[in-house]
Amino acid sequence: MAENAKGIAVVTGAASGMGEAAARLLAEAGWPLLLCDLNQERLAATAGRLPGQVETLAGDIAAADYGAGLTAALAGRPIGALIHCAGLSPTMADPARILEVNLAATMRLVESILPHMAQGSCAVLFASSAAHMQGAALDEAINAVRTPEAVPSLMQYTPESGAAYSVSKRGVKLLVERESPRFGARGARIASISPGIIDTPMGRQEMETHPIMKVLVEKSALRREARPEEVAAVAVFLCTQTASFITGTDILVDGGSIATMVGAAREG
């Protein structure tokens, strides 16, 4: 673990999909892990498949006391890496719940972990290519939301769950930009990843519900979905010292979907 910051690696949403892939890559790289998820049974199963030191913390990330529980689980240990995968896609909840979990809970999580970030550490949040499709039209309104309690004010822009998802993920992207100076003051970094469509249970559920997603895949530069480990590898890379000058930014890992859309718009 010579090229990594000292401390424990925290992964949220670790029981399946992207979180499980990230946990596996971190474990293989020698990180001690604290895996977090809502589902205790599946979380324990994931932990049992991984090598090395693995601890678990089950709970609802949107719960008011979640930050306190996470702090207690750290038991004074610094965080060397955080990969925050937990979140809801459009078919999983109503707009209010999506905003609460994807944005308000993420804001509270960032506030909770900041005092525990080690020198040279990195927090990686998951935004989405949907944040880029959302565009900058609502950035002023989204950026004005500086506390979790203010997140419900965005409901006026999110009449349905798809809009709530896009706005919440745009909020994550903007949150990373705002928080980078505070992380930098601790010698730490924060970045976000915007995946396209990933071959996970969540991704497959969205594909079945929204056929347009298949069209987006077919029109992307690579014309396929991402494998979970392809996206997780970028998150893990950001947590190494090789990425030590990357902070306050978002990285698209979408197989060229946004680039293709932008190119088509320019030509059209």
Residue entry with tokens 């308000």 = 104
Q: What are phi and psi of 150, to 5 degrees?
A: -90, -10
For residues 171 and 163, the answer to whether their CB atoms sit within 8 Å is no
171-205 pLDDT, tens per residue?
999 999 999 999 999 999 999 999 988 887 777 77
Q: From CA 214, how far away is CA 193, in angstroms rounded?
A: 21
User: 264 lies in a domain?
Assistant: no
Task: Give the pLDDT of residue 3.
Answer: 57
Q: In percent, how much of the chain has pLDDT > 90? A: 82
52-90 pLDDT, tens per residue?
999 999 999 999 999 999 999 999 999 999 999 999 999
Domain membership of residue 164 as a residue range: 8-198+228-256
User: 122 lies in a domain?
Assistant: yes
User: 217 lies in a domain?
Assistant: no
Rounded to an integer, the average pLDDT of 90-108 is: 97
Q: Provide the domain count of the chain.
A: 1
Taking all residues of the chain, what is their mean pLDDT, rounded to a whole number?
Answer: 93
Is the per-residue pLDDT at 267 higher than 80? no
18-40 pLDDT, tens per residue?
999 999 999 999 999 999 999 99
Residue entry with tokens 């039209």 = 137
Is the per-residue pLDDT at 2 higher than 70? no
User: 189 lies in a domain?
Assistant: yes
SS3 letters for the chain? CCCECCCEEEEECCCCHHHHHHHHHHHHCCCCEEEEECCHHHHHHHHHCCCCCEEEEECCCCCCCHHHHHHHHHCCCCEEEEEECCCCCHHHCCHHHHHHHHHHHHHHHHHHHHHHEEEEEEEEEECCHHHHHHCCCCHHHHHCCCCHHHHHHHHHHCCCHHHHHHHHHHHHHHHHHHHHHHHHHCCCEEEEEEECCECCHHHHHHHHHCCHHHHHHHHCCCCCCECHHHHHHHHHHHCEHHHCCCCCCEEEECCCHHHHHHHHHHHC
User: 233 lies in a domain?
Assistant: yes
Task: Give the pLDDT of residue 28.
Answer: 97
165-178 pLDDT, tens per residue?
999 999 999 999 99
Residues ≥6 apart with Cβ < 8 Å to 264: 219
Residues ≥6 apart with Cβ < 8 Å to 259: 221
CATH number of the domain at 119, please. 3.40.50.720
Q: In percent, how much of the chain has pLDDT > 70? A: 97
Cα–Cα nearest to 248, from 197, 198, 185: 185
113-139 pLDDT, tens per residue?
999 999 999 999 999 999 999 999 999
Q: From CA 204, how far away is CA 257, in angstroms rounded?
A: 17
Residue entry with tokens 């979140």 = 87
Task: Give the pLDDT of residue 262.
Answer: 79
User: 54 lies in a domain?
Assistant: yes
Task: Give the pLDDT of residue 179.
Answer: 98
User: 158 lies in a domain?
Assistant: yes
Task: Give the pLDDT of residue 200.
Answer: 75
The model's confidence at residue 263, banded by pLDDT at 50, 70 and 90, is: confident
Is the per-residue pLDDT at 6 higher than 80? yes
User: 263 lies in a domain?
Assistant: no
Letter string b/e over residues 159-181, b meaning 16 or more CB atoms within 10 A of that residue's CB: eebbbbbbbbbbbbbbbbbebbe
